[in-house]
């Protein structure tokens, strides 16, 4: 009986050892431009699907979401792009418009 418990534990161990997606969760964000500071939020699933709500209350569906090298890039149909990273429980990044930094992101 004991060997069966050990065998089951050995088979299940990789499931528990997998790293969680550090971006997954609901993030309350502070957007800071040269002239103003305002709230937005983003919700990211384990498989990097994202929902973004702007300060206007509108949901902005992303065109594309990609994770690579510890960074998450969310691209919108308007050409706006968020480049995000996570350290512990803090998300930081930049919002770019037309290839130039527009706002800093923290949350």
Residue where the block lists tokens 């949901």 = 59
- Mean pLDDT for 52-69 is 93
Rounded distance, CA 34 to CA 95, Å? 12
- Mean pLDDT for 50-69 is 93
The residue with greater pLDDT, 39 or 18, is 39
Instruction: Convert the pLDDT of each residue in 70-79 to its tens digit.
Output: 999 999 999 9
Closest CA to 53 of 38, 66, 32: 38
User: Per the confidence metrics, is the pTM higher than 0.95?
Assistant: no
Is residue 20 very low, low, confident or very high in pLDDT (cuts 50, 70, 90)? Answer: confident
Please give the helix or strand (H or E) that residue 13 lies within, else none: helix 2-17
Instruction: Convert the pLDDT of each residue in 74-107 to its tens digit.
Output: 999 999 999 999 999 999 999 999 999 999 999 9
């Amino acid at each position: 009986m004991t060997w069966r418990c050990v065998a089951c534990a050995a088979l299940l161990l990789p499931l528990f050892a997998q790293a969680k997606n550090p971006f997954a969760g609901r993030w309350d964000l502070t957007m800071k431009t040269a002239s103003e500071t305002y709230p937005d939020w983003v919700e990211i699933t384990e498989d990097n699907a994202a929902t973004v709500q702007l300060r206007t209350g509108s949901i902005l569906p992303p065109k594309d979401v990609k994770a690579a090298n510890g960074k998450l890039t969310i691209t919108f149909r308007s050409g706006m792009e968020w480049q995000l990273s996570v350290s512990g429980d803090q998300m930081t990044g930049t919002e770019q418009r037309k290839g130039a930094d527009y706002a800093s992101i923290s949350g």
